[in-house]
Amino acid sequence: MDAHEIAKVLSEMGTLLELQGENAFRCNAYHNAARALEQFTGNFAEWVEQHRLAEIPGIGKTLQEKITTLAKTGRLQEFEELKATIPEGLLQMLRIPGLGPKKVKALFDTLHVDSLDKLKAACEKDQIAKLKGFGVKTQQKILEGLAFIETVGQRYLISEAEEMGQQLVDAFAHFPGVQRLSLCGSLRRRKETVGDLDLLVSSSDPGPLFKAFTEHPKVAKVLAHGETRASVVLHNGLQADLRVVSDEQYPFALHYFTGSKEHNIQMRARAQAHGLKLNEYGLVGANKSVACREEADIFKALGLDDIPPELREGTGEMEAAERHELPKLICTQDLHGVFHCHTDWSDGIDTLEAMVLGAKAMGWQYFGIGDHSPSLKVANGLSPERVQEQWRQIDALNQRLKPFHVFKGTECDILPDGSLDYDDEWLEQFDYVVASVHTHMTQKKEEMTRRILRALEHPRVTMLGHPTGRLLLKRDSYALDLEAVLEAAVRHRTLIEINAHPARLDLDWVHVKKAKQMGARFVINPDAHAVAELKLTRFGVDVARRGWLTAEDVLNTKSLHGLQSAMKKGKGKIWW
C-alpha cells in the first residue's frame, strides 16, 4: 500500500474505534496519523525502509509498526478484526449529514439500527424522534440525508477516482502490445464525482492485457471478462472497465466513451446530416469511410472546431464549435497565486512559513492568507491581537522573499444576521476579505439569502467563499436563492470563489457558466490547510473550464504587478 491508501485505513480504524466507544484520544491518534500521511510529500517507500516514519508529526512507534505492516503486506490483522466486529451498515450511516459516530452508536445500541434501510424504517415509525439527544428535527434531517444519499448513489470524488485511475494508467501504459491508452468517461470530462472508471486501450494483442488487468493487485472482484471488455471492482468499491480496440478505432472509441450521452447524441445527429454514421468504431457513409487519427479529426470531418472534453455536455458546445467561437479555456499554468488558504494560526496543519514556501515552490508570484475570524472558535479563529502578530510574520517573510509577495487576508465569517466577524476598522486593514458562511446553515431560504446579500453589500468584501456550502456526497447546499446572490455579486463587484477542494468544488460548473453570462468575475482558491493541498488548485481549474471560463475571467491569472494595481484601485473590491 502507498501512503494515501494507508491513510484511508487509519482513518477508518479511528472511525471504527469511535463506533466501539473507545476514548477520543486513541481515536484521534488514528485520524491525526491519517491526515499526516495524506499530507506527506517525501519518498514514502524510502521512509518505510529507513524506519523514519516516527519522524512524521502525529505518528508514534506503535502506529509506525502498523503503517510499516500495511506498506509491506497490504494487510493489518487488527484492522480486519476490528472491521469484522462492526456492521458494515454503521459506516454507511455515517454518510448522513449530522450523524457522527456517537449518534450512530446510540442508534445501534438502543434500536439495533445497523443499515440505511433500518434507519429509514426507524424514522418512519417515529422511533428516533423519541430518543434522548435526537428529537423531531434530527429525525427529519436524517430522512433528508437518506434522500440525498439516494440521489448521489455510489459515486466517488474526482480526486479519489483520479488516484485509482492513474494507478491503472501507470500499470498498463508500457504494457507489451499497448499502443495508446486513456481514461475516458466522466473522469476525462472532469466531473466533480465519478461513478466508475473507463480505461480505453488500443492493442492488437488484448489477451495478456485482460489477464493482467483482472489480476491486478487493486482488483477485489471480476464482474465480466469478454473479448473486448473486462469489468472489475477495485478494493475501494469503484468499478473499472477496460475496453480494447484496434488503433484505427481508437479515436472513435475515445470520443464515444468520453461522452457525455447528450453530446454523443448531438454528434451522431450531425454526422447523419453529413450523410455519415458515427459510433465507437468509426465514421462511415454509404460509399466511404472517414479515416481519423485523432479525436480532432472527427470534429474537423463534421465541420467543427476541436471540442475540449470538459465542454462535452450538450450545452451549446456544438453550436460554438461550428461558429468557431469556443473559448480559449483557462489552464493551470495561467494562475500566478491563490488567496484562500489556512495555516496553523487557525485550523491549518502547516506553519505560515511552510505554506508560503510551498506556494513559492509551485512557481507562483504571490500567496494569500485566509485564516479564520474569531467567532469560529472550533477553527481557532484569530482575534485582532493575533492578526497583528501574524502580520508581523508576514512582513518579515515579504522582506526576505522579494519579489514573491504574501497578501494579508482573512476568511471572515458571515454571521447569522449577515454582519461580518471583524468590525470595519479591522476589515479596512486587510488586503482582501473572503466572506464565508460556516454556521447556522439550516436557516430558511429567505434568511440565508438575506444574510449573504447583506455581506455582499459590505465595501470590504472582496470574494464570496464556497458560495453554497455544499460538501460533495455528504451535504447538499444550504437553502439559498443563488441567482439573487450571483446578481448581487455582480452589482457589488464581489468575486465568486471556485473553491477547488475536491470535497467542495463550490461554485459548481453549471452556475459558474450562468454567473459568467451575468457578468460575474471569479477567483480559484484551494482552501488549503496544508502545503500538499496547494496542488488541489487544479481541481478548481477543472470547474472553471467546464464553466467555459477564460483566463480573463479569473483574478488569479493577474501578475503580481497587475494584482497590486487592481487592489489599490479597488480599495477592497478587485474588479477589472
Q: Does the residue 404 lie in any domain?
A: yes
* pLDDT for 324: 97
360-398 confidence digits (pLDDT tens): 999 999 999 999 999 998 889 999 999 999 999 999 999
- pLDDT above 70: percentage of residues in the chain: 100
Rounded Cα distance between 228 and 164, Å, is 22
Q: How does residue 246 score in pLDDT terms, banded at 50, 70 and 90?
A: very high
- Least confident stretch, 78-82, 153-157, 200-204, 457-461: 153-157
Rounded Cα distance between 266 and 285, Å, is 17
* pLDDT for 74: 86
The 8-class DSSP code of residue 328 comes to -
On whether both 84 and 19 belong to a single domain, the answer is yes
pLDDT of 167 > 80? The answer is yes
Rounded Cα distance between 323 and 297, Å, is 17
Domain boundary among 122, 152, 182: 152
Q: Does the residue 328 lie in any domain?
A: no
* pLDDT for 576: 86
What is the secondary structure of 412-469 as a DSSP string?
EEB-TTS-BSS-HHHHTTSSEEEEE--S-TT--HHHHHHHHHHHHHSTT--EE-STT-
On whether both 463 and 496 belong to a single domain, the answer is yes
On whether both 422 and 405 belong to a single domain, the answer is yes
* pLDDT for 411: 97
On whether both 278 and 186 belong to a single domain, the answer is no
Q: Does the residue 272 lie in any domain?
A: yes
Query: CB-side exposure of 247: number of CA atoms within 13 Å?
Result: 8
User: Residue 282 belongs to what domain range?
Assistant: 251-322
* pLDDT for 320: 97
335-368 confidence digits (pLDDT tens): 999 999 999 999 998 999 999 999 999 999 999 9
**CA 558 to centroid of chain Cα atoms:** 24
For residue 268, what is the domain's CATH number? 3.30.210.10
> Residues 393-422, buried b or exposed e (16+ Cβ, 10 A)?
bbeebbeeeeebbbbbbbbbbbbeebebbb
On whether both 550 and 448 belong to a single domain, the answer is yes
Q: How does residue 23 score in pLDDT terms, banded at 50, 70 and 90?
A: confident
Domain boundary among 126, 152, 178: 152
On whether both 8 and 95 belong to a single domain, the answer is yes
The 8-class DSSP code of residue 373 comes to P
SS3 category, 241: strand
Q: Which of 279, 233, 272 is nearest to 254 (CA)?
A: 279
Q: Give the mean pLDDT of 510-532.
A: 96
- pLDDT above 90: percentage of residues in the chain: 78
Q: Does the residue 303 lie in any domain?
A: yes
Pair 249, 199: CB distance under 8 Å? no
Q: Give the mean pLDDT of 81-110.
A: 88
* pLDDT for 88: 84
On whether both 138 and 193 belong to a single domain, the answer is no
* pLDDT for 56: 85
Here the cell at position 90 is 454503521
On whether both 210 and 236 belong to a single domain, the answer is yes
Q: Does the residue 551 lie in any domain?
A: yes
* pLDDT for 128: 92
Q: Does the residue 111 lie in any domain?
A: yes
On whether both 76 and 175 belong to a single domain, the answer is no
pTM given for the model: 0.85
Q: Count up the domains in the chain and report the number.
A: 4
For residue 547, what is the domain's CATH number? 3.20.20.140
pLDDT of 42 > 80? The answer is no
* pLDDT for 534: 96
On whether both 208 and 95 belong to a single domain, the answer is no
Q: Does the residue 141 lie in any domain?
A: yes
Q: Does the residue 133 lie in any domain?
A: yes
Domain boundary among 293, 322, 351: 322
* pLDDT for 392: 97
On whether both 8 and 144 belong to a single domain, the answer is yes
On whether both 190 and 102 belong to a single domain, the answer is no
